[in-house]
Structure 1
Amino acid sequence: MKRFFLIVFILGIQFFSSAQNRPFYLMVNFSENVPVEKSFEISIFTRISEVKVQSVSLFLFVENEVKLKEAFLRFGSKEVPLRFYLTNFNDYDGKAYKIDLKLEDYTSLFESFSQLLFGLSAGDLRETEIAFGFDVAFQDGSREYFSSFDDTKAGYPLPKIKLNFYQPQSLAGKALVLKNNASFSFRFNNEVPIDDLLVEFWAKINSFGHNFFYIIDEISRDTVLSLSSNNFKIISPNINPALEIFERQFLSKNVWNHFSIFFNTKKDCLEVFSNDKLMYRIPFEGLNTLQNYRFGFLNPTFGKGMQLDLIKVWEYRNSLDYSFLNKHYLNYDTDSSRVLLNLSFDDYKTNNRLLNSESISFKFENIDYVYSDAPIFSRAPELNVYAYGSFYSIEWKKKESTDAVKFILEKSTGGENFIEINSQYANDDPDKTYYYSDLRNRVNEIVIYRLKQINTDASFVYSAQVKIGQGEQKLFTVLQNFPNPFNPETNIAVEVLETSEIEISVFDVVGKKIITLQEGILSQGMHSFTFDGSNLPSGIYFYEVKSPNYAVIRKMILAK
Structure 2
Amino acid sequence: ANAFPEADELKIYISADSKIYPSEVLLRSMAKTISLTPIRDYLQNYNGSVYSITINVKDSSFSNGSFFQILSTFKNDAEENSTLKFYGIYKKNGKPVGYLTNPNPGTELEEKFIKVNLKFYKPQKNAGRAIQFEKNSSFSFLLNKFPDENLLAEFWLRTSDSGQDILSVKNIETDQREFLLTLNDFQMLYTRIENASLLFSAPYFLGRKTWSHISILFSAEKNSVSLFCSGNLFAKIKLTSLLSVGKYEFAFSSEYGNKNYSIDLLRFINLKNTIDVSFSNKNFNNFNSDSSTVIAAFKFDDQLPQTIEKENYSVKVENLQYIKSNAPIFARAPELNIDILTNAYELIWSGGDYKQADSYTLEKSMNNSGFQSLYKVHADNSTPADYSFIDAKELEAEIVYYRVKQINLDGSVVFSAQLKVGQGESEPLVLAQNFPNPFNPKTNIELELLEDSEVDITIYNLEGQEIVKLFKGQLAKGVHKFTFDGSGLPSGIYLYKVSTPSFNTTRKMVLTK
TM range (shorter): 0.7 to 0.9
1:311 matched to 2:266? The reply is yes
CA-CA distance at 1:208 after TM superposition: 1.6
1:166 aligns with 2:121: yes
Match for residue 357 of structure 1 among 302, 306, 309: 309
Which has the larger displacement, 390-399 or 538-547? 538-547
* Matched residue type, 2:484: F
Please tell me whether the aligned partners of residues 247 and 277 of structure 1 are also in contact (alpha carbons under 8 angstroms).
no
Q: Deviation per CA, 1:143-193: give whole Å up to 9, x if none.
A: 357475973499x955122212122222222112112342211113x4455
Following superposition, the deviation at residue 104 of structure 1 comes to: 3.7
Whether the aligned pair in 2 keeps the contact of 1:215 and 1:296 (CA below 8 Å) is yes
Q: Distance in 1 between matches of 2:251 and 2:402?
A: 46
Q: Which whole-Å deviations, capped at 9, do the CAs of 1:391-414 have from their partners, x for residues lacking one?
A: 322221112231111110112234
Query: Does the aligned pair in 2 maintain the 1:319–1:528 contact within 8 Å?
Result: no
Quote the residue 2:152 is aligned against: 198
1:335 pairs with one of 260, 273, 290? 290
CA distance in 2, matches of 1:541, 1:414: 38
Aligned position for 1:265:
220
Corresponding residue of 1:423: 376
Which residue, out of 152, 161, 175, partners 1:221? Answer: 175
The alpha carbon displacement at 1:390 in A equals 3.3
Residues 262 and 272 of structure 1 are in contact (CA less than 8 Å); yes or no, is this contact kept in structure 2?
yes
Q: Does 1:481 align with 2:435?
A: yes
1:396-449 deviations in whole A, cap 9, x for unaligned? 111223111111011223443321110000012433111212223549964322
- Match of 2:25, SS state, is strand
- From 275, 278, 287, give the equivalent of 2:233: 278
Identity within the alignment, %? 30
* Structure 1 range deviating more: 82-91 or 404-413: 82-91
| Pick aligned residue for 1:403 from 356, 376, 379 | 356
Quickly say closer, same or farther: Cα 1:453–1:345, change in 2 above 3 A.
Answer: same
- Structure 1 CA distance for aligned equivalents of residues 208 and 236 of structure 2: 26
> What's the secondary structure of 1:197's corresponding residue?
strand
2:345 matches 1:389: no
Q: CA deviation at 1:213?
A: 0.8
Q: In the TM superposition, what is the alpha-carbon distance from 1:98 to its structure 2 partner?
A: 1.6
Tell me the distance in 1 between the aligned counterparts of 2:429 and 2:24: 49
Change (3 A) 1:500 1:263: same
TM-score normalised according to structure 2 size: 0.88
Task: Look up the match of 1:287.
Answer: 243
Structure 2 Cα separation of the partners of residues 534 and 54 of structure 1: 56
Query: Are 1:458 and 2:411 matched, yes or no?
Result: yes
Name whichever of 256-265 and 547-556 sits farther off.
547-556
Tell me the distance in 2 between the aligned counterparts of 1:421 and 1:121: 39
Alpha-carbon distance between aligned partners in 1 of 2:273 and 2:418, rounded to the nearest angstrom: 26
Displacement of 1:215: 0.5
**Mapped partners of 1:55, 1:204: distance in 2:** 34
Structure-2 change in CA distance of 1:262 and 1:138 (3 Å): same
Cα pair distance change 1:104/1:394, threshold 3 Å: closer
CA contact (8 A) 2:456 2:471 kept: yes
Pair 435,133 (structure 1): closer, same or farther in 2 beyond 3 Å: closer
Choose the corresponding residue for 2:188, options 205, 211, 234.
Answer: 234
What secondary structure is seen at the aligned counterpart in 1 of 2:283?
Answer: coil
Is the Cα contact below 8 Å between 1:198 and 1:316 reproduced in 2?
yes
| Amino acid of the structure 2 residue aligned with 1:438 | D
Q: Aligned partners of 1:110, 1:192: CA distance in 2, in Å? A: 48
Distance 2:69 2:189 in 1: 15
- The one-letter code sitting in structure 2 at the alignment partner of 1:318 is N
Instruction: State the Cα distance separating 1:246 from its structure 2 match.
Output: 4.5
Alignment gaps of 5+ in structure 2 = none
Contact persistence 1:196–1:315 (CA under 8 A): yes
Indicate the SS of the match to 1:110: coil
Name the aligned partner's letter for residue 553 of structure 1.
R
Residues 183 and 314 (structure 1 numbering): CA distance in 2 closer, same or farther, change over 3 Å?
Answer: same
Could you tell me whether the CA contact under 8 Å between 1:485 and 1:558 is conserved in 2? yes
Shift of 1:93: 5.1
Partner Cα distance (1:165, 1:116) in 2: 22
Q: Are the structure 2 counterparts of residues 143 and 493 from structure 1 closer, same or farther at C-alpha, using a change threshold of 3 Å? A: same
* Matching residue of 1:375: 328
1:137–1:372 CA distance, 2 compared to 1 (3 A): same
Check the 8 A contact 1:312/1:342 in 2, yes or no: yes
The partner residue of 2:91 within 118, 137, 154 is 137
Q: Which residue of 2 aligns with 1:436?
A: 389
Task: Quote the offset at 1:485 in angstroms.
Answer: 2.6
RMSD, aligned α-carbons = 3.1
The answer to whether the 8 Å contact 1:397/1:432 transfers is yes
Q: 2:42 aligns with which of 88, 93, 99?
A: 88
Counterparts of 2:53 and 2:190, CA distance in 1 = 29
The equivalent residue for 2:141 is 186
Residue deviations 1:260-316, cap 9 Å, x none? 111112222111111122211111241125x62110112222345111111111221
Question: Take 1:142 and 1:468, find their aligned partners in 2: how far apart are those partners?
Answer: 60
- Note the C-alpha offset of 1:228: 0.6
Name the structure 2 match of 1:63.
17
Q: 1:523 to 1:375 in 2, by over 3 A?
A: farther
Following superposition, the deviation at residue 207 of structure 1 comes to 2.0
The C-alpha deviation readout for 1:4-62, integer Å capped at 9, x for no partner, is xxxxxxxxxxxxxxxxxxxxxxxxxxxxxxxxxxxxxxxxxx324323x2322221112
Structure 1 residues 116 and 109 mapped into 2: Cα distance closer, same or farther (>3 Å)?
farther
Matched, 1:537 2:493: no
Q: 1:372 to 1:292 in 2, by over 3 A?
A: same
CA distance in 1 between counterparts of 2:506 and 2:309 reads: 46
Q: In the alignment, is the contact (CA less than 8 A) between 1:233 and 1:250 conserved in 2?
A: yes
Distance in 1 between the 2:449 and 2:409 partners?
Answer: 26
Q: Deviations over 1:89-139 (max 9, x none)?
A: 236454422212223435515341211111112223322222223343324
Gaps (5+ residues) in structure 1? 1-45
Return the alpha-carbon distance in structure 1 between the equivalents of residues 506 and 78 of structure 2: 39
Determine if contact 1:533/1:558 at 8 Å carries over to the other structure: no
What residue is the counterpart of 1:35 in the other structure? none
Q: 1:492 to 1:106 in 2, by over 3 A?
A: farther
Measure how far apart 1:509 and its partner are.
Answer: 3.8
CA distance in 1, matches of 2:116, 2:268: 34
Partner of 1:108: 62
